[in-house]
């Protein structure tokens, strides 16, 4: 049985947040209202599950009392059948509630900004970046999410040296965060006449999209340059200075965007990426201060780690964070966007670890 004090504490917190959000001074202050709204929405689902669980326990108690005191055979038979049915459903309901009680990362509900960059492998790595981009856009399409191209640098033979795009949808960051890390590809490049298998790599960084209230950027913190956008080979593709480069002076972070013909739109997109990078750094600092103990099999934050290998000759994708039947998957299915099978296995492993620590 789940500790009733824990459940009472959650319901009290939900009520406190509801009261806080109703205050006029809070309702007009986004800095207070946005985080409270996120927590309120998350707790609403948990409180509904707690209510269902507690109703089942109350009903079970009433039926047990009826079985002890009732003498009518027909009523006893009905009560016993209802009691057995609830007793059979209760363990599953309790397990579902335990999963919901696992502390959730409040950032999981956010949209995501994904940056994919070619690593070792030259042109082949750039082609692999294009493969990953198509994989993720297809996965987003299957889930009903929207994707938004933000910026990219094309490779000389196709693909991308780097690409930045946004993903908008329910729990976008919470699911896509498992993709952060180094992805390795093994295949025979089209330019390889001898048929030798080459190994190339690309790095994926998944950031929670930040809002203006999440990070403070002073007016003197930015150096903004504008220039003419260019395509493959460096040729100019626009006759106006629409491309934007923003340098965050305190950290040295540089973001460029030239996808739009409007300088204003490019600046807005670049600022979104910059805010998200700064917010990600802020979260990483908080997490590292919080504990070093969460470096587990499911490492969602270590982007230097090789997390997956895409082996073309064997038609296989191997996720190195998983074991057993969850480890290997059919290459074509994964490339076609059927990424749920891997992400769900990673989430289950992550939840199992958290449950063990509850």
CATH number, position 52: 1.20.58
Instruction: Note the pLDDT of residue 294.
Output: 37
Question: Residue 255's closest CA among 305, 205, 202, 317?
Answer: 205
177-192 confidence digits (pLDDT tens): 999 999 999 998 876 7
Q: Which of 108, 116, 106, 158 is nearest to 137 (CA)?
A: 116
Q: 47 and 10 in contact (C-beta within 8 Å)?
A: yes
Domain end, chosen from 80, 101, 122, is at 101
The whole-number pLDDT of residue 344 equals 87
pLDDT at res. 302: 43
52 and 180 both lie in a single domain: no
Q: What is the pTM of this model?
A: 0.71
Considering the domain architecture, whether residues 169 and 37 belong to the same structural domain is answered as no
- Identify any residues that bridge with 328 across adjacent strands, giving them in sequence order: 318
Mean pLDDT score of the chain: 87
Check residue 183 and give its pLDDT. Answer: 96
Tell me the percentage of the chain whose pLDDT exceeds 70. Answer: 89
84 shares its domain with 109:
no
Residue 338 pLDDT level (bands cut at 50, 70, 90): very high
Lowest mean pLDDT among 122-131, 258-267, 324-333, 347-356: 347-356
* Cα angle for residues 120, 162, 272 (degrees, 5° grid): 140
Do 93 and 144 fall within a single domain? no
Q: Write out the H or E segment, with its range, that includes residue 334.
A: helix 331-335
Residues 20 and 95 in one domain: yes
pLDDT band at residue 293 using 50, 70 and 90 as cut-offs: very low
Residues 64 and 146 in one domain: no
If asked whether residues 210 and 137 sit together in one domain, one would say yes
Average pLDDT over residues 10-24: 93
Instruction: Using the predicted structure, report yes or no on whether residue 328 has a pLDDT greater than 80.
Output: yes
List the strands of the sheet with 112-118, edge to edge: 146-154, 160-168, 112-118, 198-208, 181-187, 306-311, 316-319, 328-330
| Residues 117 and 13 grouped into a single domain | no
147 and 95 in a common domain: no
> Which among 290, 314, 310, 312 has a CA at the least distance from the CA of 301?
290
Residues 144 and 185 in one domain: yes
The 10s digit of each residue's pLDDT in 147-205 is: 999 999 998 888 899 999 999 998 899 999 999 999 999 998 876 767 788 899 999 99
Q: Are 273 and 146 part of one and the same domain? A: yes
Question: Where in the sequence is the domain holding 41, given as residue range(s)?
Answer: 4-101
Same-domain check for residues 348 and 245: yes
CA distance 342 to 319: 8
Residue 67 scores a pLDDT above 80:
yes
Looking at 67, 101, 135, the residue that finishes a domain is 101
Report the CATH number that the domain containing residue 165 is assigned in CATH.
Answer: 3.30.70.1660
Number of domains in the chain: 2
At 296, the pLDDT band (50, 70, 90 cuts) reads very low
Domain final residue, candidates 72, 101, 130: 101
């Amino acid at each position: 049985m789940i500790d009733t004090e824990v459940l009472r504490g959650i319901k009290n917190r939900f009520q406190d947040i509801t009261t806080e959000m109703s205050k006029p001074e809070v309702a007009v202050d986004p800095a207070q209202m946005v985080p409270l709204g996120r927590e309120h929405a998350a707790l609403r689902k948990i409180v509904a599950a707690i209510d269902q669980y507690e109703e089942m326990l109350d009903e079970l108690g009433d039926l047990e009392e009826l079985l002890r005191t009732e003498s009518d055979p027909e009523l006893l038979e009905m009560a016993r059948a209802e009691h057995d049915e609830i007793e059979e459903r209760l363990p599953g309901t309790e397990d579902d509630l335990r999963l919901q009680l696992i502390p959730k990362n409040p950032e999981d509900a956010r949209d995501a900004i994904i940056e994919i960059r070619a690593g070792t492998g030259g042109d082949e790595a750039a082609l692999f970046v294009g493969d990953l981009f198509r994989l993720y856009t297809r996965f987003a399409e299957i889930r009903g999410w929207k994707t938004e191209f933000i910026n990219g640098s094309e490779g000389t033979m196709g693909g991308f040296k780097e690409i930045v795009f946004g993903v908008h949808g329910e729990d976008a960051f919470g699911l896509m965060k498992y993709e952060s890390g180094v992805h390795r590809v093994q295949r025979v490049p089209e330019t390889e006449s001898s048929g030798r298998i080459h190994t190339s790599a690309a790095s994926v960084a998944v950031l929670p999209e930040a809002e203006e209230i999440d990070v403070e950027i002073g007016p003197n913190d930015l150096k903004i340059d504008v220039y003419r956008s260019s395509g493959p080979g460096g040729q100019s593709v626009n006759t106006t200075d629409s491309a934007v480069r923003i340098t965050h002076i305190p950290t040295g972070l540089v973001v460029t965007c030239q996808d739009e013909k409007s300088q204003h739109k490019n600046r807005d997109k670049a600022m979104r990426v910059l805010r998200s990078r700064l917010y990600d750094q802020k979260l990483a600092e908080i997490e590292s201060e919080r504990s070093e103990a969460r470096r587990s099999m499911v490492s969602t934050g270590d982007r230097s780690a090789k997390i997956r290998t895409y082996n073309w000759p064997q038609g296989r994708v191997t996720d190195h964070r998983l074991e057993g039947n969850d480890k290997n998957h059919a290459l074509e299915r994964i490339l076609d966007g059927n990424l749920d099978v891997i992400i769900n296995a990673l989430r289950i492993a992550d939840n199992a670890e958290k449950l063990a620590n509850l």
